[in-house]
Amino acid sequence: MTSGQRSLVGMSMLAAGLLLVLAAAGIAWSGVQRWLAVSETRDALEMLRRDRVADARKLAAKASARVPDEVAPALLALDTADLDAVERIEAIAARGTSRADRETAHAAMALARVAKGKAAGFDLEGSADGRLLAAMAAANAGRDPGRLKPVDGEAPPHLNVLRAAHTVLLRRAWQAGKVSEVRAHAGALLLLRPRAPEAPLMHLLVGAGSALLPDAEAIKLCEAVKQEQEAAIRAVAALLPQRRAAIAARWPKAVEGLP
């Protein structure tokens, strides 16, 4: 090989080496971005568990900007009250490689629509999500949602679909004065998230609705409710006539005007 040829080969190798360095820098940068996004998504999930929804959404939005094709941060960043934003999730779900993530995105879209009083828009048959959303839609429309009995072989429900469905069905049963249904939905919400802000109210509904709990214990459960205490106690008194006397002794105004 002449010196000219040798120089040419050397320069080509140098150019190829530089290209490899550039490629390595690009891959490393995307790796670092992904790492940050994973960390932010995990933090957002932790915040959601602590009911810091707005902070979780902000953090997930940052993560989603780093990895725009990932379904997990995009869903956590989603403002479910904004149906236009919900529709945009479909494009991200279509790009997602995991079938489970796609199904979760569809469940999230369906839940957001049903919560806004619209049709689910997705066929979620064969999954508990579909059954829960149908019950939720029926309750919202004033129809009988039927019993929430699990079907063998169906895919398990998602946590927030379960929470939303129990919330809607609890409210409906409460309004209809169906104590056993109220206890069942409140018990499910209590077991799902015993540290949630609404947990003391659920504890009260489960406990006060049981004839085995003495009035003094029921009053203690009433005192533990901190959110909208007055309204909650009045609504419990309206639902449970057998507790009215005990409630009236402690909170006379709560039972005023009740039949």
Q: Which of residues 150-189 bind other proteins (CB under 8 A)?
A: 150, 154-165, 167-168, 170-172, 174-177, 179-180, 183-184, 187-189
Considering only 59, 78, 120, 247, the residue that binds other proteins (CB under 8 A) is 78
User: What is the spatial distance between Cα 121 and Cα 9, in angstroms, rounded to a whole number?
Assistant: 61
* Residues numbered 22-61 forming contacts with other proteins, rule: CB under 8 A: 23-28, 30-32, 34-35, 37-38, 41-42, 45-46, 48-49, 53, 57
Give the number of residues in contact with other proteins, rule: CB under 8 A. 124
* Residues numbered 104-123 forming contacts with other proteins, rule: CB under 8 A: 104-105, 107-108, 111-112, 115
- What phi and psi, each to the nearest 5 degrees, are found at residue 155? -70, 140
142 binds other proteins (CB under 8 A): no
Element (H, E) at 246: helix 244-250
Task: For other proteins, give the closer residue by CB, 154 or 223.
Answer: 154
Q: Dihedral sign, CA of 188, 117, 87, 106?
A: positive
Burial code (b: 16+ CB inside 10 Å, e: under 16) for 178-209 equals ebebbbbbbbbbbeeeeebebbbbbbbbbbbb
Write out the two tokens for 256: 């005023």
* Residues numbered 195-224 forming contacts with other proteins, rule: CB under 8 A: 195-196, 198, 201, 203, 206-207, 209-214, 217
Task: For other proteins, give the closer residue by CB, 201 or 222.
Answer: 201
Residue type, 225: V
